[in-house]
Amino acid sequence: MSTGVPEGYDPHAFWPFAVTVDLAVFTVRDAALHVLLVERGQDPFRGRWALPGGFVLPRESADEAARRELAEETGLGPDAVGAFHLEQLRTYTDPDRDPRMRVVSVAYAALLPDLPEPRGGGDAASARWWGAGSAGPLAFDHDRILADARDRIGAKLEYTCLATEFCPAEFTLGELQQVYETVWGVELDRPNFRRKVLNAPGFVQPVEGPPRRTGGRGKPAALYRAGGATALHPPLLRPPPTEPSLSRPEGRTP
């Protein structure tokens, strides 16, 4: 703060940036990653789908604005929304990202379990879940924000216990594995996944009582809760993306 600092104190003497928050709200449903989108009712990008978001109010932080928007868009009470994972992603500041004026957007990623009532009762009547892969071209630079959000979530599953945020309060290891497979787009070996999760201290803790979950075919599974840990050490690395070029050590015959 040493250069180009305006000396006055009148806010209107400064460049009037508008500051918004944009939310990439994810959930795992039907073995697919879904993201909450809203349809724009006005120009620019009228009729296009966009990430939910809104302006940061004069007396709130961006974190508070994001939490408020999350409550409005999901239609859930602020108390319920307070339990969801919400983290700042990064800030998008291209001068031309909004054709109307100079808007910088602080992007957030939110992780929700698959809720019974997904569509919100807020003012966003046209909000709905979209498969994260099938979301068409979004308004503004929201395609990039969404891609960055997916990258971040996928990376954080490796070295944090974040996956439980996609699950209900009690869940099976199969459901937890489904989260990893859905976000990463890979298949994991079930016994190995089980061994890794159960050996990680504080990742999950077993639920006492009748250890069964019915509903599908097959043997009932034991239920678990999220443990107290947030970091996963050593990490649960996703299989490296099979590089097409390098070392193919074929040809050595024993």
Partner DNA sequence: CCCTTTATAGTCAGAGTGACTATAAAGAAG
Partner DNA sequence: CTTCTTTATAGTCACTCTGACTATAAAGGG
What part of residues 82-141 is at the interface with a second copy (CB under 8 A)? 87-88, 90-91, 93-95, 100-102, 104, 106, 122-124, 139-140
Q: Three-state DSSP class for 46?
A: coil
147 touching a second copy, by CB under 8 A: no
Is the bond into 234 cis (omega within 30 degrees of 0)? yes
226: exposed, middle or buried (C-beta count within 10 Å: 0-12, 13-18, 19+)? buried
- Between 53 and 178, name the residue whose CB sits nearer to a second copy: 53
244 touching a second copy, by CB under 8 A: no
Whether the Cβ atoms of residue 27 and residue 112 lie closer than 8 Å to each other: yes
When CB distances are held under 5 to 8 angstroms depending on the partner's kind, the choice from a second copy, DNA, none that residue 120 binds is none
> Of 133-172, which residues contact DNA (CB under 7 A)?
172
- The distance of closest approach from Cβ of residue 210 to a second copy in the complex, given in angstroms and rounded to an integer, is 26
- Between 145 and 163, name the residue whose CB sits nearer to DNA: 163
Residue (of 49, 72, 67) closest to 119 by Cα position: 72
248 touching a second copy, by CB under 8 A: yes
248 touching DNA, by CB under 7 A: no
CA atoms of 50 and 22, how far apart (whole Å): 9
CA atoms of 148 and 137, how far apart (whole Å): 15
When CB distances are held under 5 to 8 angstroms depending on the partner's kind, the choice from a second copy, DNA, none that residue 25 binds is none
